[in-house]
Amino acid sequence: MPHTPDPRAVIDELRAAFGADEVLAGDANPRYLKDWSTATGGTPLAVLRPRSTEALSRMLAICHAHGQAVVPQGGLSGLVGGAVPAAGEVVVSLERMNAIEAIDTDSGTVTVQAGAVLQTVQEACREAGALLAVDLGARGSCQIGGNVSTNAGGNRVIRYGNTRDSVLGLEVVLADGTVLSMMNRMVKNNAGMDLKHLFIGSEGVLGIVTRVVLKLQPLPQGVSTALVAVQDFTAALRFLRHAQQSLSGQVSAFEIMWRDYLDTAIAANRLRKPFATDYPVYVLTDMHCGQPETDAQRFEAMLEAAIEAGWILDAAVAQSVADAEALWAIRDGVAEILREAAPTLNFDVSVPVAKIGECAARVRENLARDWPQLKALFFGHVGDGNLHVVVCKVPEDAASVHAIEDAVYSVVRDYAGSISAEHGIGLLKRDWLAYSRSAAELALMRNLKHSLDPRGILNPGKML
Ligand SMILES: Cc1cc2nc3c(=O)[nH]c(=O)nc-3n(C[C@H](O)[C@H](O)[C@H](O)COP(=O)(O)OP(=O)(O)OC[C@H]3O[C@@H](n4cnc5c(N)ncnc54)[C@H](O)[C@@H]3O)c2cc1C
């Protein structure tokens, strides 16, 4: 744990080196106090808003010398409390380091500062004729540095991988202010250890990401989208295999929604029902196409074959971009559900793909047995083995929360699954990390933390 610093001395030294605008002290703006999770923190000592790597490096050197705890913040869309400050900690917000430095379509790279908002970078790349594959519902507020630090997943992992798979290079400032430049722009580089992977997904406990080189993909010329109704998870899995085989790996999203999720998302977002009849399970699927006309025909032929084989019960195929957006609004409607159903418990687990249906059924059974009054919504990214469960309007006492979490995580442990598929550990899942990681893994994580941050100033109390 960090030493107890003298808060006055920390502020005086930061203020002497930087202006009042870069070092906000006193009553913190409430927007720096919370992320999207239910985690609550305290009032920070200061909020630092550096404009450059060099400034951040000097700020961290000062905090390090004082043993002052520091919490990195991106777009604050995190769902596990990783960016929430405890009382007396110093927040480092990357919001002013948001430049898109270069888009190189010949090399297939985009270079950005960590505070750039994902959607802004996606749009700039699209204008330049390239695709940034990282995509998630929080695209309008999350930052690239946050995406890297959580190794964000999202809707296109089935085709392009997690954020990790799009990162070529990083610049990171270590706890003592050392700037570690690893701004590699090549896909192949086996010259020694690939250190960037230590920082991807490490939730700000090993260093602060300041710049990122991301890999670009060819821009799809069109997208075919359909919402498909199926009988159960086994049918969804059979349909996934069929779609992947028929479309030669071009499936770019394959999102499962059980009926309870779909109905709630439609009601919460006041959307139109896609089918006249209700079905038990739905799949929203996208195919990124190179040749829109012929590819759209292949997509429809694939759906017809699935209907004939009896694997799917019904399909609504988007005929326009507006249609596709209306179908995606159902899947992306989770933000509104989280608002309406608060307080919620949000589970983001993964198990081997073939086990998702079984795992979902066992979790549903556990919850219905012990908390019949609670509503639970099930959805997920089937191709990635990722299941999301939102338990609505949960009792807030610690004992009930713990018991509900155990009802879910003990099932996940039985399948040797992960208690966090994509959101990370932060504050809210720390107690459960040992369900998914061995004692030896945890010891190595702590050793790495100690060797990079011996005074323990970076995001203390998070993840480990
Ligand atoms: C509606 C909605 C939908 C979502 N959908 C998905 C989804 O599909 N897939 C998914 O993976 N996540 C999803 N999320 C969760 C969240 O958007 C991601 O975790 C995102 O990557 C967080 O980015 P951020 O910039 O908001 O980070 P923050 O919330 O600010 O921070 C997250 C963590 O990263 C650390 N951090 C932030 N910036 C830096 C930096 N520059 N250097 C070091 N550490 C840093 C913080 O300390 C914290 O531990 C969703 C969230 C919402 C609200």
Average pLDDT over residues 409-417: 97
- Considering the domain architecture, whether residues 17 and 85 belong to the same structural domain is answered as yes
Q: Tell me which of 93, 97, 113, 136 to substitute to probe ligand 1's pocket, judged by most ligand atoms within 8 Å of the beta carbon.
A: 136
- The stretch 398-411 carries a mean pLDDT of 96
Is 197 or 25 the better-scoring residue by pLDDT?
A: 197
Residue 249's pLDDT is what? 84
Q: What is the pLDDT of residue 28?
A: 73
**Ligand 1 centre from 253 Cα, in Å?**
20
Report whether pLDDT(289) > 90. no
Q: By residue range, what is the domain housing residue 354? A: 341-424
Provide the percentage of residues in the chain whose pLDDT is more than 90: 93
Tell me what pLDDT residue 3 has: 61
For residue 160, pLDDT beyond 80: yes
290 belongs to a structural domain = yes
pLDDT, average across residues 42-67: 97
pLDDT at position 293 is 81
The structure tokens listed for 462 are 């998070």
pLDDT of 383 above 90 = no
Give the residue-averaged pLDDT of 285-291: 90
Q: Over range 154-179, report the average pLDDT.
A: 96
161, part of any domain: yes
Kindly state whether residue 235 falls inside one of the protein's structural domains: yes
The total number of structural domains that make up the chain: 4
Assigned domain for 415 exists: yes
Residues 416, 314, single domain; the answer is no
Say if 458 falls within a structural domain: no
Cα 146 to ligand 1 centre (Å): 5
pLDDT-derived band at 292 (thresholds 50, 70, 90) equals confident
Nearest CA to ligand 1 atom 27: 146
Q: Percentage of the chain with pLDDT > 70?
A: 99
In a domain, 2, yes or no: no
Q: Which of 309, 334, 359 is the last residue of a domain?
A: 334
Distance 164 CA to ligand 1 centre (A): 14
For residue 309, what is the domain's CATH number? 3.30.70.2190
295 shares a domain with 237: yes
pLDDT tens-digit map of 438-453: 999 999 999 999 999 9
